[in-house]
A and B are shown apart, each in its own frame.
Chain A
Amino acid sequence: MTSRTHSTFQISGRSISFRLLEPNLIEIDGKRHRFYVLHRRHEHIVWLDGHTYHLQRADRGGLSPAAAVPASGEITALMPGKVLRIEVKVGDAVAEKQTVAMMESMKMESALHAPKAGRVAAIHCRPGQVVEMGELLIVIE
């Protein structure tokens, strides 16, 4: 991978010449930059000259706010933590943005809101339960 010879990168009709000098040092068009890269399943994390970029494909559904699909009724944990309390029961009617449960993470309380108006179809957690990020907690239909 470490090529000390000049290479070119073609993007949107532009041609950029670069040299990879060291694993974390690159020369682009004659100017040196420090960089670090982490490849994750859903994103590539790039640190370059003091900025961190979380690269995601813009053409995949749901990643761009403009392309957002209609609000799903699934409420998932935004972070790992503990469910403090559930303020609705199955069958309850809820308004959009209504608080349906409270969570605690890193000693801070945060509210979980209904993503849309509807009825509580299922509750998959109970107060006191420790949940992982992304875990499905409540379904609104």
Chain B
Amino acid sequence: MIRKVLIANRGEIAIRIGHTLREMEIETVSVFTEPDEHSLHVRAASTARRIESYLDASEIVRAAKESGADAIHPGYGFLSENPSLSEECEKAGVIFIGPRPNTIRAMGDKLESKRLMQSAGVPVVPSWDGTPPASEYPVLVKAVGGGGGKGMRLVEKVEDLAEAMASASREASNAFDDSRVFIEKYIRRPRHIEFQILGDSHGNHIHVFERECSIQRRHQKIIEETPSTAMTPKLREQMGAAAVAASKAVDYRGAGTVEFILDPTGSFYFLEMNTRLQVEHPITEMTTGLDLVREQILVAQGEKLSYRQADLRPVGHSMECRIYAEVPEENFRPSTGTIEIFEPPAGPGVRLDSGVARGSVVSYHFDPLLAKLVVWASSREAAIDRMKRALADFVLLGVRNNIEFLHRVISAADFSSGEIDTGFLERHPELFTVSADVPVEALLVASLGGDKAGSGDRIPDVWNSGSWRNS
């Protein structure tokens, strides 16, 4: 039985994992690096240990041993898909809450994972080791060791290939310590559909339905939902069977995700398998009632999954918006600063997985994901209405963020009709423009606080000029 878990992560995911651990009456140890000393995930744990790096497997395993933790939860990102942590855990006799090192290694190598999936009968995207023939462009350059859009480049012409590979390789080397890249056929108007899978050490493998993650910027997801508007019962059965075949092919243990791309004709291809908890896992939890972290813990201590395939019946519709510290209107440039006002939304069917609160400092050291706003409702239409309301209620000031942009995206007519694919944002440049006009009500409230405040009936002249603009 697992009694104490070291959470080898930070931000919202460290906090979310802590929630389930406390519900299971398991003690938690959090780790932090110097810039994170005052971060929310450190305050949320009963024990906290300072480390030099979230990427040093030996240091993290040592911290687990010294703090008496019998298991490590890697979260996502950082060391979650680096086989060295799983390996170091095995050597030190600490339980790694995730798959075995061989599974991580095989699935982390995109070329090997494709070969494995191909032999298991799962359809894969054509790829090349060398330079593809000119007729095959556009192609995608991807990092062998990575994900999340890092180290990925779209190449339209053969003469741009060398530079794209060099730049992708550098980015991959910085992000994953592995500079290898490969080239894959680019599928036009693809949807990104992934299936949640769970496997245990008793030979049970199930899928927990799909998540549609087609709304992306820079190849990174910003809005996810389940069920997908592209799904039919027949397609779900086919893709679900392929996901379970993938899980069985590697005798998968724990929670994982099989990512597919789906083209407009209904053909789907294996993209990659993420051998960890996914950022967007909450939407699956909302429609099925599962706690995926709880299943991870049960599997890690050798128990059977709590569910068989036939037990699972998704209900309603769930959607997630990723709240990033970035300015979408300025090419998604990251923003830093201190969150001075933080008033999150609440109400029926609203879940917020947040790594920040009032006073949190957002620095350039880490990924700009601040929080995930998740809603559930009985239908997709009601879920969109609920998400719009929750975004409109969310006050986050002090760091520029994408809350209003997300509201504009889900308010777009194409989004409500479900006509989405990974090129959605590129087709909608109008979503990136903000009116420079300032309503008089905004000027009025601006005049009521701070050193330029008005008092009584008199509003200083500065506010009466109509020459303010929104930027």
Contact = CB atoms under 8 A, between A and B. Distances in A.
A49 to B, nearest CB: 7
Interface string B417-458: 000000000000000000010111111111111111101110
A26 interface: yes
A79 interface: yes
B440 A14 contact: yes
A37 B448 contact: yes
A1 B455 contact: yes
Contacts of B333: 78-79, 110
A36 B341 contact: yes
A56 B469 contact: yes
Contact of B444 (A3, A28, A78): A28
B53 interface: no
Dominant secondary structure of chain A at its interface with chain B: strand
B115 to A, nearest CB: 29
B452 to A, nearest CB: 7
Nearest to B468: A55
Contacts of A84: 170
A105 interface: yes
A56 B170 CA distance: 39
B335 A1 contact: no
A47 B395 contact: yes
Interface residues of B, number: 61
Interface stretch (A58-66, A68-76, A116-124): A58-66
Contacts of A54: 470-471
Contact of A105 (B334, B340, B456): B334
A109 B170 contact: yes
A1 B447 CA distance: 11
Nearest to B391: A50
Contacts of B459: 9-10
Interface of B: 150, 167, 170-171, 174-175, 218, 325, 330, 333-336, 340-341, 343, 363-368, 391-393, 395, 397-398, 403-404, 407, 436, 438-453, 455-457, 459, 463-471
Closest 8 CB pairs of A and B: A50-B392, A39-B450, A58-B469, A35-B445, A106-B334, A80-B364, A37-B449, A59-B467
